[in-house]
Amino acid sequence: MIYTNTEKEINRRNGMGSWMKNYSLTENGKDWDYCVGLSYRRREMKTSNGRKNIGRLFNNLYELDDSVNGFVVDELDDIGIGIHHHLIVSSSLSEDIFKRTVQNSWDRKGMNWVENYDSSRDYVGYMCKHIGKTNRNVFDVFNKSLIKN
């Protein structure tokens, strides 16, 4: 795993962050609703397992709100082994129901936090800071494409 941080890569990540930040305004006609952080009790090393877990969370939210959507970004832990997830989400669910659904979906896996999205903070920039630095620093959409038939 080699981290590189060339000017071109930094500009690409910054551009991706701007695109993600504005996506909800463009596509949903409103800003993001929630920021979510998800970690694991035990080190999760496989992106594929992370995607399955994120897919289950999406299914639980989608059952309550069929308009839920957003982005998820995987980041490596401080020693570069395990992954954790950052999400920005648009949802019509109340804060209480959204938080409870995330908590019920994730508590057995690890820790989670949810807060209201505040566009004056650079949460999306924070999410995007490592995308592409390794093959495990990836992003994905948080939408119906996660539903497995």
Ordered per-residue pLDDT tens for the chain, 149 residues: 456 678 888 888 889 899 999 999 999 899 999 999 999 988 777 788 888 999 999 999 999 999 999 999 988 876 667 888 999 999 999 999 999 999 999 999 999 999 999 999 989 988 988 787 776 777 788 877 776 65
Distance CA 66, CA 87 (A): 17
CB neighbours of 96 closer than 8 A, spacing ≥ 6? none
Nearest to 116 by CA among 30, 29, 12: 30
Contact 114, 104 (CB under 8 A): no
